Amino acid sequence: MCGRTACTLASDEVSRACSYRNRGGQRRQPRWRDGDADKYRPSYNKSPQSMSPVLLSQRHFDKSAPVDECVLASMRWGLVPAWFKENDPSKMQYSTNNCRSENILEKKTYKDPLIKGQRCVILADGFYEWRRQGKDKQPFFIYFPQTQGTSKEKTEDDPATSARNKENSETACPPEEASPDLTEEGEAPGEWTGWKLLTMAGLFDCWTPPGGGEPLYTYSVITVNTSQSLESIHDRMPAILDGEEEVRRWLDFGEVKSQDALKMLQSKNSLTFHPVSSLVNNSRNNSPECLQPVDLNSIKESKPTASSKMMMSWLKSSAPSKRKEPNTCESKKEQEIKAEAQCKSTGALQQWLQGANKKPRTK
């Protein structure tokens, strides 16, 4: 299952982080649907009913759009089927936060969107899962392994890391010079060197109140049997799309038919994880401490792993000024002083988490 995620990037960073190549090999940076960037709020602790960034084909909104054009949208977690007759979606009697890949074709709620090609990719830093330990449950944060030193500043300081990152980036994302392209603003989209977002397969639907009103776009995360690497935590996991090609095929509902798309939903051993504090158990808690690695044998923080170090480094070194800020009584000058102090400190996952004097708002 998947009942809690984190997505701490600002809206413009999300767009840069999920750039893609079209069929012609040109790199594109997906734009947000009109107004949707403002509906999204970064959060360390996203729960169902909140708005999350979702990637999907532009053809769902514009039939004349190129078949391989993608767009970002803010959608509410918890699918509300188009045929739902109540005026209030909260009156649904069953949970649609997740849908099991094995049962998609057996339930109208999910079968209809699948047949219509309404496939999407849910974007997140990672997701939380709880391992049962007797009467207690221990939360873990699960995410893609991160390449150490993705920050350009750190890469330039370390030639060995620079060479390693160059090799990794060329494998996952060929250099921009190979096929230059322009964004709508007329600027070439730079290669993303920040946090590698987790890409989860999902289905979405559009519900309109029977009495009329604004359409509501919602989604469900598809789950599969867990992988060997995660079976000690839980027996289910989100269906992960690993790499640009898998994301492209899942979204291309014209070329890749439903039955072929379902075959892509497999458990994968491509994720890493670390234990976190029970602070995340309460969805109202929304702070960097939710992601902080802990030592299961003591109360104190654990020694960060390579990937968790990268997470802290990214949180700390990424530009706080670009993120949506919560309501705060701090003066702008105080915030600038804090941001400057954070940029000067060193260390990895610790930097990322402590560095966002930006505590994202939940919504």
pLDDT of residue 178: 32
126, 9 contact by CB (below 8 A): no
Q: Is residue 348 scored above 70 in pLDDT?
A: no
Q: If residue 136 lies in a helix (H) or strand (E), which one and from where to where?
A: strand 136-143
Is residue 106's pLDDT more than 90? yes
Q: What gap in Å lies between CA 37 and CA 10, rounded to an integer?
A: 9
Distance of CA 110 to the CA centre of its chain: 21
Fold of 5-355: hypothetical protein yedk fold (3.90.1680)
List, for residues 200-224, the tens digit of each pLDDT value. 999 999 999 988 889 999 999 999 9
User: Residues 325-352: what's their mean pLDDT?
Assistant: 38
> What are the catalytic residues?
2, 129
Q: What does the pLDDT look like over 240-262, one tens digit per residue?
A: 999 999 999 999 998 999 999 99
Residues contacting residue 237 through CB under 8 Å, at least 6 positions apart: 2, 129, 142, 223, 224, 225, 226, 227, 230, 267, 271
Average pLDDT, the chain: 78
> For residue 99, is pLDDT > 90?
yes
Report whether pLDDT(297) > 50.
yes
The torsion defined by the Cα of 89, 90, 91 and 97, in degrees rounded to 10, comes to 90
For residue range 146-193, list pLDDT tens digits in order.
975 443 333 333 333 333 333 333 333 333 333 344 444 433 456 788
Per-residue pLDDT reduced to its tens digit, 54-91 = 999 999 999 999 888 999 999 999 999 999 998 888 88
The pLDDT value recorded for residue 253 is 94
Q: Where are the domains of the chain?
A: 5-355
- Spatial contact of 70 and 251, defined as CB atoms under 8 Å apart: yes
What CA–CA distance (Å, rounded) separates 331 from 56? 39
Which tens digits make up the pLDDT trace of 109-138? 999 999 999 999 999 999 999 999 888 899
